[in-house]
Amino acid sequence: MENSETAAETSAQPSTDHSTALLQQLGQLLGEGGVRTQPDAVMPDVILRPRTTAEVSAVLRLCSAAGQALVPLGGRTGLANGHFQTQGEFGLSLERMNAIEEIDTENRTMTVQAGCILQVAVEAAEEHDLLLPMDFGARGSATVGSVVATNAGGNRVIRYGMAREVVLGLEVVLADGTVVTSLNKMLKNNTGYDIKQWFIGAEGTLGVVTRVVLRLRPSPRSQCTALLAVDSFGALTSLLRMLDARTAGTLSGFEVMWPEFYSYVTREGSLHRPPLPHGSAFYVLVETLGSEPESDAERFETVLGEAMEEGLVSDAVLARSQSERNALWEIRDDVLEFFKLGPIIPFDISVTLDRMEQFVDDIRVGMDTLKDGVCVVFGHLGDSNLHLILGSKKPEEFDYQALCTLLYETVERHHGSVSAEHGIGLSKREQLGRSRSAPELQLMRQLKTMLDPKNILNPNKIFAADTLTAG
C-alpha cells in the first residue's frame, strides 16, 4: 500500500550493460541457484543467494564497486516494508545460509546463520531443554537475521527483552565487503564500543548480518495462563504493577485487548467461544513462565484472587490444560480476522502508560468523525506497546493518508514512538521525525554515511536517499 511512496525515488542504478556484466560476475561467483531472476513486475527481478559469509562479502565487494543497490531479505513478512525491492535493486537472500552451527549447552548459547527460520532455531533449542525466548506471530517465516535486523519484539519482551537483549554476538558484512566477526558468547564484555548494537535494529541499512550468537535460557517448567476482565484503565495498570511485583521475575505476558477486539474475535459465528462474557472495559491475557508447576499455579491463583478482592479484576478464567491455554492465545492472536472488516491499517506504536488511556481516547474521537470507521486496539501493555487497527468498513470511505495523519499526529502529541517493534522501513520513514529530534536523526545519518557511503545497502529505508548528507 505504500508503493506510491517510492515511485519518485528509484535509486540511481547502473546502466543495463553494467548490470548484465555484474550479473554475469555474480552468477559465476554464486554458482548454481545462486542468482534467481524473475522478470515479472510483481516479484523482484533479481535475488542473490550466497551460501557463505565469504560469498556475501564477495557480492558486496562487486556491488559496491558497481554502485548496485541491495535489499537484504529475510522472511519478507515485516510490516514496515523494510524488505521492499524497488526496480533495479537486487535482493540478497540468506536462505541458503540457514544452518544452526552450534548449540553450546555449557555456555547456553546458539550460533546460527542468519537465514535460519526463527521457529527452527526455537525448536532446536527445545531439543536441548533450552529456551530461545523470541516469539511472535511470524515465527514460521522470519529469519534470525531479520529478527536481529529489526530488533524484533513480540509476546515475551516483558520477561526476556527484545532481540537486542538476546543477541550476544554477531557477524556482519559491511557495504564494502569487510567481514566483521564479533561472535561473542560472554554476558559481560566491555572491550571498547559494543559495535553489534549498531547493527541490531538497523534494518539492513548498515551491514548484512550473516551469523548470530543467541543467549539461551533454561526451559520454563511451569506455565500459568489466565484471561481476566478489568473495568478501568487505572485498574489495568495497578494490576500490571501488582503482578510484576508478586510473580517476581516470571511474568511473561500481559496482553491487553480493548473491548472491540475481544467482542469481534469472539462474536457469534466466529471461531472462538468467548471464555468471559462481552461487556467489560478490558480483557487481559496474563501468563507466567516459572519453574515449579504445582506451587506456581497455587501462587498464580492466590495473586489473581487477591486482585479480584482488591477490585482490580472483575472476572477471570484460568487455563486448566494446554488446549485451554491455546484457546486463550488463539483469541489474542487472531488479528487477521480484522481484515474481514474492510480495508484496514495495522499500526504499531508505543506510548507511556500514564498517557495511554488519553491517547486511545484521542484516537477514538478522531475516528468518530469518520463514517463506518474501524478502530481496534490491543497490545503488549507491559512494554508500553500498542497495536491499533484503523480502517473503514466501506472501501470507498477508506483514506490511508487521513488515518496515518490521525494516528501519527496523536502519537507525536503524546511523545510516543511511531514504531515500537516493527521498525521504520519505507512505511514509517516520513513519520520518523515525530519521534526523533533533528540531532538524533543527524547522528543516524552520519553513521549511515560512514558505513555505507555509496548508499547501496537497503537504500531509502529509514532515510530517503536525498536526505543523507554525503554520497
Query: Which one, 21 or 450, has the nearer CB to its own copies?
Result: 450
Question: Closest approach of Cβ 307 to its own copies, in Å?
Answer: 14
Quickly list DSSP for 184-237.
---S---SS--THHHHTTSTTSS-EEEEEEEE-EEPPSEEEEEEEEES-HHHHH
Mark residue 312 as left, alpha or beta (left: phi above 0; alpha: psi -120 to 50; beta: remaining). Answer: alpha
361 is a site residue for its own copies (CB under 8 A): no
Over its C-alpha atoms, the chain yields an Rg (Å, rounded) of 23
- The dihedral sign for the CA sequence 39, 40, 45, 51: negative
How many CB atoms lie under 10 A from the CB of residue 42?
5
Q: Which of 3, 20, 24, 178 binds its own copies (CB under 8 A)?
A: 178
Q: Which segment (22-30, 175-183, 317-325, 329-337) binds its own copies by CB under 8 A?
A: 175-183
444 is a site residue for its own copies (CB under 8 A): yes
Question: Closest approach of Cβ 442 to its own copies, in Å?
Answer: 8
Q: Which of 232, 335, 436, 464 binds its own copies (CB under 8 A)?
A: 436
Query: Which one, 108 or 139, has the nearer CB to its own copies?
Result: 108
- Tell me which residues in 182-221 interact with its own copies (CB under 8 A): 182, 184-195, 197-198, 200-202, 206, 217-221
φ/ψ of residue 102, rounded to 5: -160, 140
Question: Closest approach of Cβ 10 to its own copies, in Å?
Answer: 23
Q: Which of 311, 443, 467, 471 binds its own copies (CB under 8 A)?
A: 443
Mark residue 213 as left, alpha or beta (left: phi above 0; alpha: psi -120 to 50; beta: remaining). Answer: beta
- Tell me which residues in 96-115 interact with its own copies (CB under 8 A): 104, 106-108
417 is a site residue for its own copies (CB under 8 A): yes
89 is a site residue for its own copies (CB under 8 A): no
Distance CA 287, CA 82 (A): 31
Smallest Cα–Cα separation from 136: which of 408, 424, 387, 432?
A: 387
SS3 333: helix
Question: Closest approach of Cβ 190 to its own copies, in Å?
Answer: 5
471 is a site residue for its own copies (CB under 8 A): no
Q: Which helix (H) or strand (E) holds 346?
A: strand 344-350
The answer to whether 26 and 93 have CB atoms below 8 angstroms apart is: no
Distance CA 27, CA 463 (A): 31
Question: Closest approach of Cβ 350 to its own copies, in Å?
Answer: 4
Query: Which one, 395 or 439, has the nearer CB to its own copies?
Result: 439
Q: Which of 37, 181, 326, 467 binds its own copies (CB under 8 A)?
A: 181
Question: Closest approach of Cβ 435 to its own copies, in Å?
Answer: 4
SS3 107: coil
Query: Which one, 92 or 251, has the nearer CB to its own copies?
Result: 251
149 is a site residue for its own copies (CB under 8 A): no
Distance CA 213, CA 225 (A): 31
Q: Which segment (4-12, 117-125, 333-341, 441-449) binds its own copies by CB under 8 A?
A: 441-449
Q: Which helix (H) or strand (E) holds 167?
A: strand 167-173
Q: Which segment (120-128, 139-147, 292-300, 398-406) binds its own copies by CB under 8 A?
A: 292-300
* Interstrand relation of 90-93 and 70-73 (parallel, antiparallel or unpaired): parallel
Site string for its own copies, 10-49 (x = CB under 8 A): ----------------------------------------
Query: Which one, 85 or 419, has the nearer CB to its own copies?
Result: 419
Query: Which one, 15 or 191, has the nearer CB to its own copies?
Result: 191
Smallest Cα–Cα separation from 199: which of 208, 191, 189?
A: 208
The answer to whether 221 and 291 have CB atoms below 8 angstroms apart is: yes
469 is a site residue for its own copies (CB under 8 A): no
Question: Closest approach of Cβ 159 to its own copies, in Å?
Answer: 7
- Tell me which residues in 242-281 interact with its own copies (CB under 8 A): 244-250
